[in-house]
Chains A and B, each alone.
Chain A
Amino acid sequence: MHEETVYDALTAAHGDDARWAFGAGFDDPLAGVDTTVPDRVEPADLGAYCLMLGDDALVLSQRLIEWITRAPELEEEVAFANVALDLLGQARLLLARAGSVGVLGRSRERAGASIPDEDALAYFRDPDEFRCTALVVADGGDFARTLVRLLMASTWRLALFTQLQSSRDPVLAAIAGKGVAELSYHRSHAARWVLRLGDGTAESHRRAQAAVDFLWPLTADLFTPTEVEARLAPAGVAVDPGRLREEVHGVLTDVLTRATLTVPEWPASAPPTGRLGQHDPGRSEELTDLLAGLQGLARRHPGATW
């Protein structure tokens, strides 16, 4: 039997008519990719690491999507949507990688059997099962805070992905290799905006400085390895986040100084909290709200199909 339309082709490709309603649905993003775990690596560690990097991307993507229909100009709305889509794609690949090594936690039993791994992880984990950092969870605030946060988060992530390209896990290395060009573009877009805001009007300067002062303390745990990273980094699979500090501080100091903003003292390194699912009290509440928006419909109708 031959299919007549793209829709028919999409459904026929899966051999049944019912499609999971809320997620990626149609295809496994890692279809055909060799997902063998490299030797001397615990699958649970690899999966946990993929969740950390995937959750950062998923949550930041959702924060950017909150601007859709609300951005001050159409071009910036399109920019946020594009950046969010890139991050969502990175999240999807990373969560699929976590699923491929069996790290699904309780999400699988909550989601049911028919839902793809990455959707089970995105829609059916509770806040304390998310391993994202405080920096991406914090409420987006105003336009200035959104762009200062995007600058900080993309600077950290770009520094990480640049090094992760040589990971001994070929899937992580490939995901990082694709992400580098995307993140370079995000970082330069955010940096140009921070220059414009910091060196703009008195009001835009005031808001940009307030954003910097608010977000700065949230970077305290970004350079502290979790136990998982401490095991995976020497094995050549993960990047020790401590090695990112110099590059990240250098780039941020450069941009903020040129933007005539005051660079605060760097916070002392703090032990990881969000990475362990132990989100700080304020952040925990914000993450719960964010996930309610992201997951509410899918959880209300588990296994719903169209």
Chain B
Amino acid sequence: MSRRGPAAEVDPRGVAERVVDPELPMLTLADLGVLRDVRVQDDGAVVVEITPTYSGCPAMGVMRADLVHALHQAGFAEVDVRTVLAPAWSTDWITAEGRRKLAQAGIAPPRSAPSRAAGPVPLDLGPSRRSAECPLCGSADTEELSEFGATACTALRRCRRCREPFEHVKEI
């Protein structure tokens, strides 16, 4: 075999963990909690498992290509990126570090995801119970402007104190 192998000390997990999300580039895939597994098979191929945030997440193709690209650059010739659909991703999988980076970038991180009991999903007709602190001034007095935002995972809110609008990663 003439192909260049990775330096012995290169950890493919570390390489994969540093790849960033295409839509929230302040987060790595590890921060976002979509990287499920990284392992090296006996034949030297690296197998990476990722999971989509939302069913229609348009970033999956780019994530896959970015992972292959980063691992190729680190010297791993064979890379197999696999999709894992279950268990479904939840915002609870965003790491503490990820939440810190979101807030630093002016995006309110999610609170705990709603717990789901077995059986029919109860209908909630009241005003949205989601809440978030303003990532700019820290005020808890904020309101939801739109349940949907510029990406699948965000809603749009506004701070009643400093009046600035901001994005909020909504809990699912």
- A178 B145 Cβ-Cβ under 8 A: no
CA distance A189 to B149 in the complex (A): 13
A178 touches B88 (CB 8 A): yes
Complex contact A6–B54 (CB within 8 A): no
Bound CA–CA A32/B156 (angstroms): 35
Q: Shortest CB–CB separation between residue B46 and chain A, in angstroms?
A: 13
Contact B49 A32 (CB under 8 A): yes
Question: Are A6 and B65 also in contact (CB < 8 A) when A78-B149, A185-B147 are?
Answer: yes
Which residues 104-142 of B sit at the A interface, judged by CB distance below 8 A? 116, 119-121, 123-125
Which residues 66-87 in B have Cβ within 8 Å of A in the complex? 66, 68-69, 72-73, 80-87
Of the listed residues A8, A32, A79, A181, the one surrounded by the most CB atoms of chain B closer than 10 A to its CB is A181
Question: When the two chains form their complex, are residues B85 and A188 in contact, meaning their CB atoms are under 8 A apart?
Answer: no
Stretch at the interface among A86-94, A134-142, A204-212, A228-236: A86-94
The 8 A CB mask of A9-28 against B (1 = contact, 0 = none) is 11011000000000011110
Could you say which of A40-48, A106-114, A251-259, A292-300 contacts chain B?
Answer: A251-259
Q: Is the CB of B86 within 8 A of A182?
A: no
A301 at the interface (CB under 8 A from B): no
Task: Name the contact of A173 in the complex, choosing from B57, B83, B86 (C-beta under 8 A).
Answer: B86
| A180 contact from B62, B68, B116, Cβ within 8 A | B116
Docked Cα-Cα span, A89 to B156, in Å, equals 22
Known: A33-B84, A171-B85, A174-B85. A3 touches B148 (CB 8 A): no
A-side binding surface: helix, strand, loop or mixed? Answer: helix
CA A170 to CA B89, docked complex, whole Å: 16
A251 to B85, CA, bound (A): 29
Q: Which residue of B80, B83, B89, B149 is within 8 Å of A29 (Cβ)? A: B83
Are B55 and A86 interface neighbours, CB within 8 A? yes
B58-A10 in contact (CB<8A): no
Min distance, Cβ B73 to any Cβ of chain A, angstroms: 5
Write out, one digit per residue, whether chain B residues 132-169 have a CB within 8 A of any chain A CB (1) or not (0). 00000000000001111110100010000000000000
Interface membership of B60, Cβ < 8 A: yes
Q: Measured between C-beta atoms, what is the minimum distance from A75 to chain B in Å?
A: 4
Q: Quote the shortest CB–CB distance from B112 to chain A (angstroms).
A: 14
Chain A residues with CB below 8 A from B89, complex form: 178
B37 nearest CB across to chain A (Å): 11
* Set of chain B residues within 8 Å of A68, measured between Cβ atoms: none
Whole-angstrom CA separation of A159 from B83 in the bound complex? 26
A220 at interface by CB-CB < 8 Å: no
Q: Which residues of A contact B33 (CB under 8 A)?
A: none
Q: How far is the CA of A128 from the CA of B124 in the complex (A)?
A: 38
| A191 interfacial by beta-carbon distance below 8 Å | yes
Report which of B61, B64, B81, B85 forms a contact with A33, defined as CB distance below 8 A. B85
- Contact between A89 and B125, CB atoms less than 8 A apart: no
Per-residue contact bits, chain B 87-108, to A (CB 8 Å; 1 contact, 0 not)? 1111000000000000000000
Tell me how far the C-beta of A11 lies from the nearest C-beta in chain B, rounded to whole angstroms. Answer: 9
Q: Which of A33, A90, A179 contacts B83 (CB 8 A)?
A: A33
Contact (Cβ within 8 A) B148 A184: no
Cα of A81 to Cα of B62 in the assembled complex, Å: 20
Q: Is the CB of B85 within 8 A of A178?
A: yes
Interchain Cβ contacts under 8 Å between A and B, 21 examples: A2-B72, A6-B66, A9-B65, A9-B66, A10-B62, A13-B65, A25-B61, A29-B83, A32-B49, A32-B80, A33-B85, A78-B150, A81-B148, A83-B148, A89-B54, A89-B55, A177-B86, A181-B172, A187-B123, A254-B123, A255-B123
Chain A residues engaging chain B, CB cutoff 8 angstroms: 2-3, 6, 8-10, 12-13, 24-27, 29-33, 75, 78-79, 81-83, 85-90, 92-93, 158-159, 162, 170-171, 173-175, 177-182, 184-185, 187-189, 191-192, 195, 247, 251, 254-255, 258
Given contacts A82-B149, A88-B56, A192-B125, 10 further A-B contacts (CB under 8 A): A9-B69, A29-B60, A31-B83, A75-B148, A78-B146, A78-B149, A173-B86, A178-B85, A187-B121, A251-B123
